[in-house]
Structure 1
Amino acid sequence: MVLIRSPKGVWRNHPAEWLEYQEGQITPADLDQFSNEIELHADRIRRMLDELMAMKSVV
């Protein structure tokens, strides 16, 4: 997995995204950006898991 910084933020390499490649727009992500993006992603996953578990308890 490659993590890079682009105008869209830090994201994981995805084949469709590479079609938009323009030299100079994509640079290596720095550690702070990487850490922040991972924490945001983990928070979204935690919220989704909480919602799924709540739905499961209703069923």
Structure 2
Amino acid sequence: MTPWEYEIRSVRFGNWDQTKEDLNRMGIDGWELVKFSDHIDENIRMAYFKRSVDGLEM
């Protein structure tokens, strides 16, 4: 069974270039986007991420 760790972050929303920049930054660190929250603000949404803890120092 794969152990996971989870992270919740605010992501800029509304300008796709900024959104992709935020998501790519998380992806480089090994995080996979699980879902976006419902509408909170027209420019910010909460994003839920997970990544495997195998090989990561905790």
Q: TM-score, normalised to structure 1's length?
A: 0.32
Q: Which is greater in Rg?
A: 1
Give the helix-richer structure, 1 or 2.
1
Structure number with the bigger relative contact order (C-alpha 8 A, sep ≥ 6) is 2
Q: TM-score, normalised to structure 2's length?
A: 0.32
Give the strand-richer structure, 1 or 2.
2
